[in-house]
Structure 1
Amino acid sequence: MRVNILQHTPNEGPGAIADWCHDRGHEMYVYHPYQFGKLPEASETDMLVILGGPMSPNDDLFWIKEERVLITQLLASDTPIFGACYGAQQIAKVLGSKIGKAPHKEVGWAPVYLQNHVIDGLPEKIVALHWHEEMFEIPTGAHLLYSSDLVKNQGFVFGSHVIGLQFHFEPLADNVREMVVNDGEYALQNNDLKQSPSQILQKQVPSENKQIMYKLLDFITKKK
């Protein structure tokens, strides 16, 4: 299976998603549309991953709009799609939801709580990395998957092959360090989690996060 990954900033890579691709024997192709303006064709995409980034789906940039064209095509063909943070917002916008400021800016580690059991075997509570100040509405026809203490709309499942998460299960320890050393000042500006860059670095990535990431990706790629 060809997994096409859209990366939107140098310091937010696929992390555990890359490990999943390798462990499952899939071919992974990483695109950088913010730099090169290039996106995969729907016909060459067996699965799409849309990673996070500092931009907003509401920004008036041609490649952001072109990403939504691609998402629309893949939704029509029931192709598996996973979105993290900005990526989840892009999916939600295609599905008709509004994207706007969240009631609280969250940067750092905080628990999220499972809101339904459409996917078997997920824990009721898990600590995840948050790095956002915007959020999506839950699309019509989707199930709310996760909520945090500060922001209700933290994740959704749409059908059997689409998942969007406002937070991050994919970063491994190296990825967290890369995010903090390059973008740590983001945590110092009106952060309602009240965590400094050094505090974020001190927290070990829960080993369960990688396992959950695998479970979510296995769910959306299971055969119909």
Structure 2
Amino acid sequence: MRINILQHTPNEGPGSIKEWSISRGHEIYVYHPYQFNGVLPTANETDMLIILGGPMSPNDSDEWILNERKLIKELLDHNTPMFGACFGAQQIAKTLGCSVGKALKEVGWAPVYLKSDAIEGLPQKLVALHWHEEMFEIPDQAELLFSSDLLENQGFVMNHRVIGLQFHFEPQADDVREIVVNDAQYTEGSLLKKSPKEILNHSVPEENKEVMFKLLDYITK
């Protein structure tokens, strides 16, 4: 299976998603449309789409952001497996006609709570990395999957093929270090009140990779 990954900033890579792809025998192709003149894959060459996070907003008018949503729409129409993290989840929701707007700023490690039994074997509570201050509405076709203490709409699942998460399960220890050392200033004003040092000193929960694998297995079965 060809997995096309849309990466939107240098310090937010696929993390454990890459490990899952390798372990399942898939090939990954990583695109950087924010940097390389909006280059995107076509729907015909996409067996699965991963849409990662980034500092931009789906409400921005950059041509590549709009073209991403055209690709998402085409793949949704073809029932192609799709996973979105943060900005990626917002892009999926926006494509489905939902609004994306300002939310309480959450930056750092904080718990999320399972709100659906659609996917078997997921813990009721997990600690995830948050790095956002916008939120999506839950699409009508989707089911609420996760909530946090500060924000209800933290994740959704749709049609056994699409998952969007406002937070991050995919970063491993090296990824967290890369995020923090390059974007430490973003912690300012977060209601989680976690310093860059505190975020760096918090170990990545072992179950996060396991859950990430389960989510990806679910949408590709």
TM-score range, shorter chain: over 0.9
Question: What one-letter code is carried by the residue in structure 2 that aligns with 1:117?
Answer: D
Q: Equivalent residue for 1:126?
A: 126
In the TM superposition, 1:1-224 aligns within 5 A as 1-36=1-36, 37-102=38-103, 104-188=104-188, 190-222=189-221
Q: What CA distance in whole angstroms lies between the structure 2 residues aligned with 1:76 and 1:113?
A: 30
TM-score computed with the length of structure 2 as normaliser: 0.99
- Cα distance in 2, alignment partners of residues 13 and 19 from structure 1: 12
Tell me by how many angstroms 1:149 deviates.
0.1
Post-superposition offset of 1:141: 1.6
Give 1:81 shift: 0.4
Distance 1:185 1:53 in 2: 15
Taking the aligned partners of 2:62 and 2:140, their CA distance within structure 1 comes to: 26
TM-score (norm 1): 0.98
Shift, 1:34, TM fit: 0.1
- The offset of 1:38, in angstroms, is 0.2
For the residues of structure 2 that align with 1:55 and 1:216, how far apart are their CA atoms?
A: 25
Distance 2:70 2:160 in 1: 20
When the two chains are superposed, the root-mean-square deviation of aligned CA atoms in Å is 0.4
Secondary structure in 1 aligned to 2:157? strand
Q: Which runs of 4+ in 1 moved over 2 A?
A: none
What one-letter code is carried by the residue in structure 2 that aligns with 1:212?
V
Could you report, residue by residue, the CA deviation over 1:35-86 in whole angstroms, capped at 9, with x for unpaired residues? Answer: 0110000000000000000000000100000000000000000000000000
| Structure 1 unaligned regions, length at least 5 | none
Provide the rounded CA distance (Å) in 1 between the counterparts of 2:17 and 2:116.
23
- Offset from partner CA, 1:122-168 (integer Å, 9 cap, x none): 00000000000000000012100000000000000011100000000
Structure 1 CA distance, aligned partners of 2:75 and 2:205? Answer: 32
* 1:164 counterpart SS class: strand
**How many Å separate the matches in 1 of 2:168 and 2:175?**
11
Distance 1:207 1:187 in 2: 24
Query: Matches of 1:147 and 1:85 in 2, distance apart?
Result: 14
The number of residue pairs the alignment matches comes to 220
List runs of 5+ in structure 2 lacking aligned partners.
none
**Match for 2:85: what amino acid?**
A
Report the AA paired with residue 213 of structure 1.
M
Q: Deviations along 1:157-196, whole A, 9 cap, x unmatched?
A: 01110000000000000000000000011002x1100000
